[in-house]
Amino acid sequence: MVHRILIIDDEDDIREVAAMSLESVAGWEVIMASSGAQGLVRAAEYLPDAILLDVMMPGMDGPTTFRELRKNPRTARIPVLLLTAKVQSTDQRRFADLGVEAVLFKPFDPMTLSAEISSVLGWN
């Protein structure tokens, strides 16, 4: 099955590397958004199978974007994986308490990113 993933990240390089990784390694379809607001629109429009969401973004950050996704009936059930450079245990607990599927860390390995996502979501 070809999965559709939405990547929401304000860093062009991160979006591009993640997209190339997921497309070439796993053969998934990738949609990209450069902000939380744009991500909300794209999530409702494309209804991806999962969302890879950056935590630290200007304007609407990842946790706020996640809460907004949950308020919309069209996007409320889409699994969300946070992508963060924050590795302190207090941050990890706070992110896990949001109700996301997983917290993945930057920098990530492009060769194993799709396997990590698949493992968390039971797509194996």
The CATH number covering residue 25 comes to 3.40.50.2300
Quick check: 33 and 6 in contact, CB under 8 A?
yes
pLDDT tens-digit series, residues 59-76 = 999 999 999 999 999 999
Displacement of CA 112 from its chain's centroid (Å): 15
Q: Which domain holds residue 45?
A: 4-117
pLDDT tens for 76-102 read 999 999 998 866 666 667 777 788 999
Measured CA to CA in angstroms, residue 121 lies from 38, 88, 101 at distances of 24, 24, 8
Cα separation, 124 vs 121, in Å, equals 8
Residue 45 domain-assigned? yes
Task: Please check whether residue 123 lies inside any domain of the structure.
Answer: no
Residue 122 forms part of a structural domain = no
Helix, strand or coil, per DSSP, at residue 11? coil
Count of domains observed in the chain:
1
Query: Which of 53, 16, 14 lies closest to 35, judged by CA?
Result: 53
Q: Residue 33 domain-assigned?
A: yes
Q: Is residue 89 part of a domain?
A: yes
pTM summary value: 0.94
